[in-house]
Chain A
Amino acid sequence: MGSIELTAVQKSFGDVEVIRPLNLDIEDGEFVVFVGPSGCGKSTLLRLIAGLEDTTAGSISIDGQDATDLPPGKRGLAMVFQSYALYPHMTVRKNIAFPMRMAKIPRQEQAKRIAAAADVLNLTDYLDRRPGQLSGGQRQRVAIGRAIVREPSAFLFDEPLSNLDAALRVGMRLEISELHKRLQTTMIYVTHDQVEAMTMADKIVVLNEGVIEQVGSPLELYRSPRNLFVASFIGSPMMNIIEGEMADSHQASAIGVRPEHLSLSTDSGLWQGKVGVAEHLGSDTFFHVQVEGLPKPLTVRAPGDVELQYQDTVFVTPEKTNLHRFDSSGLRID
C-alpha cells in the first residue's frame, strides 16, 4: 500500500509562501515525478510528505491515515537524498542495516534482506567497504539499498541523479524504473530535468512558484499542456511560442508549436525565413530558422540527412492538428 493524499497543504518560511495551498492524490504503486525549475517548491513538497518539514496548513494522509503530525520515522516512507546521506562511519552493510536495526527487525531477517538488496543493486562485493571508498554510482545504489530494505509504502527520491555524470545518469534512470516495475511500490521522484520526468513518470506534477501547474501522464502533458508554462517546460527542444499578428490569425494571444511539428521546405510553405545555426544529432537535425516578423528564431526538427546551408532561404509550415493556442492569461484554448 502506498497512497498519499495532500489536502490544502500550504507551507511558508516566515513571510515567504513556498507552497500555496494545494491538493494532490498519489495512488498506490504510481511513479510520480515532481518537476519544475529550481525554487518552484518541488523539494519542499517532498520534504513535507517525508515529514522533514512541518506543514503550515492543510493535511497529509498516507494510506488513509492522517500523517500530518507524524514524525518522519513513523510514516513508513524511505528517502534517497541528493547527497545520498550515507553514514560515513558505517560500512555499506551497516548503512543498509541501519533502518532495520531501528525497527528492531531480527538479525537473520536483516541479513537476508541485505543480501537480497545487495544482489539486486550489485553491491555484494562492497558490503564491507565504507561510503568514502565507493564511486558516486555505488553510493547511489547503497542509498537505494538502504531505502529498499525497509519495505516502505513509498519511496521518495530528491534529485537522486544530479550528482552523477551524464552516462551514469541514464543507467541509473533505467535501474530506478526497473526497480519500480519490479517492486510496484509508490515512488515520488523530484527532479528539475524534464527528460527524467518524461522517461520515468506514470504521472508528472509540474510545479512553478509553489503552485501545481498541471498534473498528468507524460503524454497528456506533451499533447495538451494546460498553459504556456507547462507547454514550454515539457518537451525537448522547447516548444516554439509565437505571439503577435501570427497568433491573432489563430484567434489566440499566443500559439505554440513543437519543433517536431514544423515541416521544412526549400520552395514553399506558410512562413519564409533564413536558416541560422544547425544542431546535428545524427538521427535528427534541429535548425534555428529566423522567420521574418518574428523576434526569435523558430526551432525546427528535420531528419538527419537534410542538408541546408547557413542563410539559405527556407519555408516553415506548422501541422494544423498540433498547434497549441493560448489566451491572454496563458491558458490553453481548445
Chain B
Amino acid sequence: MSSNSKQRAGATYELERGYRRMIVPAIIAVAIFAIVPLAGMLALSFSDYHLIRGSNGEFGLRNFIKLVNDKRLVNSIYVMSVLSLFGVAAQVIIGTAVAVGLHKIVGRWRLGRVLFLVPYAVPHVAVALIWLSLFTPTLSPINAFFDLFGITVPSFLTSQNGAMFAIIVADTWTNFPFTMLIILAALQGISPDLDEAAALDGASRVKTFIFITLPLLLPALLMVTLFRFIDSLKHFPMIFVMTKGGPGRSTQATNFYAYVQTFQNSNVAYGAAIAVLLFLMAALISFYVAKLNQRISS
C-alpha cells in the first residue's frame, strides 16, 4: 500500500481523468476533419493555383486584393445576406409559432408533431425540386388553381427578388422543423406552473407569451438562430437546383460563387479565398452570438 500522494488526488480525480480521456477521440477527430482541410484551404487561398494552368509558385495576398474589388463577390454577399436574414427569421418565427402551438396539444394529437418533421427529413435536392416545380408556372398546381379564376400568378424565378423569395420559401419549409424541435424542447423545460401563475396574476395568453415564455426561450432562440444562420451561409442545393444562380447572376450567393470559381472557372486558389472569407464571417458571427448568449444567461 504505497501512498504515492503526488499522484493521488482523491477518487473524483480518477473519475475526472476518465472523462477527460473520453473527449480525446473527439479532439483528434476535430483536428483531422476540421483543422486539416481548413489549413489546406488557407494555404490554397494564398497561392496562385489554377486547375488548368497550374501554379507559378507565387504566394501572397493577390487573391484577397482581388476579392476587395470583385463586384460579383459583393453581389454574392448581398444575396447571401438576404437569403440568410429573411430565411432564418422566417424559420425561427414559424418554428417557434408551431412549437408553441404543438406544445399545448396533449393527448393522442401529440403524434401530429411527427408530421411537422417530414420536411426536415426530405433531402435538400428533393426539396428544391418540389419547390422548383411549385414555382414553375407551367408545372405548378398553385398557378393552375388560380388560373381557374382567371388570376395569373406572377413568375417568381425570373426576377432577382422573386427568385430569392422562392429560395427562402424552400429553405424555410425544410428547415423550420429544426427550430421547431429545439424550441419545443426548450418549452418543455419551462415549468407549466409559470403559465398558471401568470394566468392568476392577470396576464392574458399573449402577455404571458411576451413577458414570461419568450424571455425564457431567449437563450434557445439565440442558439437556434446562430446554428441556422451559420448553416444558411452554406446555401447551395436550393440555388443549384432552383435557379442555377439566375436570373443572370442575381442569386449567386457567396458559397455558390465559390463553387463557380472553383469548379467552373478552375480557379481553385480564388475559390479558396472566398471560402476563407465565408469561414471568417461564420466565425465572427459565432463569436459575437456566443458573447451575447453569455450576457443573456448571466
Contacts and interface: CB of A to CB of B under 8 A. Distances in A.
B202 interface: yes
B207 A87 contact: no
A298 interface: no
B199 A71 contact: yes
A102 B191 contact: no
Interface in A80-124: 81, 83, 85-89, 98-99, 102-103
Interface in B196-212: 196-204, 207, 211-212
A50 interface: yes
Contacts of A103: 202
Contacts of A71: 199
A83 B196 CA distance: 12
Interface in B134-157: none
Interface string B151-165: 000000000000000
Contacts of B199: 51-52, 71-73
Nearest to A76: B202
B216 interface: yes
Interface of B: 191, 193-194, 196-204, 207, 211-212, 215-216, 218
Given A71-B199, A87-B211, 10 more contacts: A51-B200, A52-B200, A73-B202, A78-B200, A81-B197, A89-B216, A102-B207, A103-B202, A146-B201, A150-B201
Nearest to B191: A83
B201 A99 contact: yes
A100 B204 CA distance: 14
B196 A81 contact: yes
Given A83-B191, A85-B193, A98 B215 contact: no
Given A87-B212, A88-B216, A89-B216, A102 B203 contact: yes
B200 A73 contact: yes
Nearest to A80: B197
A98 to B, nearest CB: 5
A188 to B, nearest CB: 13
Contacts of A74: 202
A260 to B, nearest CB: 40
Contact of A85 (B196, B203, B218): B196
Interface string A51-82: 11000000000000000000111100111010
A81 to B, nearest CB: 5
A72 B196 contact: yes
Contacts, number: 59
A2 to B, nearest CB: 15
Contacts of A72: 196, 199-200
Interface residues of A, number: 23
A98 B201 contact: yes
Nearest to A73: B202
A73 B201 contact: yes
Nearest to A78: B200
A79 B207 CA distance: 19
Contacts of A150: 201-202
B216 to A, nearest CB: 6
Contacts of B191: 83, 85
B200 A79 contact: yes
Contacts of A102: 201-203, 207
6 contacts: A50-B196, A50-B200, A52-B199, A73-B202, A78-B200, A150-B201
Contacts of B216: 88-89
Contacts of A86: 197
A89 B215 contact: yes
B197 to A, nearest CB: 4
Nearest to A143: B197
Shortest Cβ-Cβ A-B pairs, 4 listed: A73-B202, A99-B201, A85-B197, A85-B193
Interface string A111-146: 000000000000000000000000000000000001
A82 to B, nearest CB: 8
A154 to B, nearest CB: 11
Given A89-B216, A103-B202, A98 B211 contact: yes
Given A72-B199, A73-B199, A99-B202, A85 B211 contact: no
B202 A52 contact: no
A150 B198 CA distance: 13
Contacts of B203: 73, 98, 102
B188 to A, nearest CB: 15
Contacts of A79: 196-197, 200
Nearest to A75: B200
B98 to A, nearest CB: 23
A74 B199 CA distance: 9
A129 to B, nearest CB: 13
Contacts of B200: 50-52, 72-73, 77-79, 99
B210 to A, nearest CB: 11
A85 B194 CA distance: 5
